[in-house]
Amino acid sequence: MAKNIKKKFKPKKERDIAKEELKSLEDLPLVGGLFKGLGKFVELVEKVEEAGGEIKRKGEIKGKEGVRGIYGFSIRTGIGERPKIQTFGNIKTVKEKEKAKPEFKITETREPIVDVFDEKDHILVVVELPGINEREIKTSLKGDILILEAGGEEKRKYYKEILLPAKVDFEQKETNFKNGILEIKLKKI
């Protein structure tokens, strides 16, 4: 089994060569800080990859009129698996063709952290919804996309469109909500 794990990832020699190439770019003006940050991020991902587990980082900024912007990422892996990186928050990119630099806006609706597991006879969707009551959660299905909406008028609001890896019977779904974690079990067709 250990042989299979080593085959999935780049050999140590290749990683060392890539790190040296990044270090040589650190001397470029303005770019050096970016590459130093990327180097630290790559090292962090490698540590998660080797040990298995999860690392989350999040931050907050204050926008206009007291609106809070939440942003972050999660890196999750099992031992011997490739890392899965997922972003979350309520800061969205505004796409305008005329602008050279991308702009961002803070929305009231957050994007929750979601995990999708393709099991033998069902799809399991696990969603983190802190600060939400079960009666405030709405789900619907459009084709192979599960649409999740949660929140009230004065509370946190969440919205996410989740691409499902297989066709499911939405009418026979099973849900469980406890301590801000929603689990949806959808039977495959």
Could you list the pLDDT tens digit for every one of the 189 residues in the chain? Answer: 444 444 444 456 655 665 565 455 445 444 445 555 666 666 766 666 666 677 777 777 776 666 677 777 777 776 666 667 777 777 776 665 555 666 667 778 888 999 999 999 999 999 999 989 999 999 999 999 999 999 877 778 999 999 999 999 999 999 999 999 999 999 999
Contact 55, 71 (CB under 8 A): no
Q: How far apart are the first and last CA of the chain?
A: 33
Write out the CATH class of domain 112-189: mainly beta
The predicted structure's pLDDT at residue 87: 77
Output the CA–CA distances (angstroms, integers) from residue 110 to 4, 86, 130, 165, in the order listed. 39, 14, 11, 23
Counts for the chain of helices (H) and strands (E), in that order: 3, 11
- Distance of alpha carbon 117 from alpha carbon 133, whole angstroms: 24
- Sequence length of the chain is 189
The predicted structure's pLDDT at residue 28: 46
- Which residues lie across from 61 on neighbouring strands? 69
pTM of the model: 0.58
Cα Rg for the chain, rounded, in angstroms? 20
Nearest Cα neighbor of 38 from 21, 60, 51 is: 21
Residue type present at position 129? L
